[in-house]
Amino acid sequence: MNLKGQPVRVGDLVHQAERAISPQVIAFYCDTFADSNSVYAREGVAPPLLYHSEVYAHLERWYLRNLVGNLHARQEWLLFAPIRAGSTVRTRSTVIERYRKRDRDFVVNEVDYCDESGRLLVRSRTHQSFLAELPQADGAYVVDRASAEKKERRAVGEGDGPELEPVELRVDLATCWRFSGPARNYHTDPDEAKKLGFPDVVVQGMLSTCLASQVMGNAHGMGWLAGGRMDLKLVNVLWGGERVRARAKLRSENAEGAFTRREYEIWVEKDDAKRTIVSVGAASALLP
């Protein structure tokens, strides 16, 4: 059941909307991330993840009722064509999959971003996880700093291959507000976070995907905006106030018609002694 007490079924149309690609919206996004990629002004385009959180516009229609401990587990992005500055984008959000993994129920919501002619520009798939049952310990956090660090992580970033220029960001509460506000919620307010079983502000998982996109866009420009792909697993909680670094290392090159696709291992790590991994996965972009 969703937050309105209705069943959540594969195929449910969650919402449709129109979003303006205005100079003000673009500037707000770029200021939040200190994203100064020259391709935006040169080509008259917007950051591809400008409306990164469109999937959450009506979460009451697809979020499961057990909100305590819910987490963004995985995020996919497919970039087919650039989003033009000054245009209007039409969005459509659909539940495309549900599955159970260990003690969590997952709901996958796909959002299509199309231009006025109906051309598909961007597609996102958000895998949101919910505890199948509430924890037994009264007052216990469902995820805390210690339990997050105990999880084993596979080796990331090892081996040969050139590395792209990283992107760094300190995710202070002001950044959390710009990214996930203006409403008070567990992504912007410590008290709201505690209500959902977290000890501190939980930085919205989508933020690390935006940083990863910035790394790829800085390196590949239009080859990222028109042809980019990314699939990230969000493996550790990022807490408000922490500093992170997005990195990518080339793993292979493959022919794709008249183009070459460069495949990268991509990850976002905390700027701490352990280089704790926040998200990790694969991304690729096209070369002429």
Q: pLDDT digit string (tens) for 193-206?
A: 998 888 999 999 99
Instruction: Give, for 229, the enclosing helix (H) or strand (E).
Output: strand 229-234
> Sorting pLDDT into bands at 50, 70 and 90, what band is 45?
very high
Long-range own/partner contacts, residues 28-32 (CB < 8 A, 24 or more apart):
28/178, 31/178, 32/175, 32/178, 32/179
**Is pLDDT at 243 greater than 70 in this prediction?**
yes
Instruction: Tell me the pTM.
Output: 0.93
In angstroms, what CA-CA distances link 227 with 81, 91, 120?
A: 7, 19, 12
Q: What is the pLDDT of residue 139?
A: 59
Lowest mean pLDDT among 112-126, 151-165, 252-266, 270-284: 151-165
Long-range own/partner contacts, residues 166-170 (CB < 8 A, 24 or more apart):
166/215, 166/245, 166/246, 166/247, 167/33, 167/211, 167/214, 167/215, 167/218, 167/245, 167/246, 168/243, 168/244, 168/245, 168/246, 168/271, 169/33, 169/34, 169/211, 169/243, 169/244, 170/241, 170/242, 170/243
Q: What is the pLDDT of residue 152?
A: 44
What is the chain's mean pLDDT, rounded? Answer: 94
Q: What is the CATH number of domain 13-133+157-287?
A: 3.10.129.10
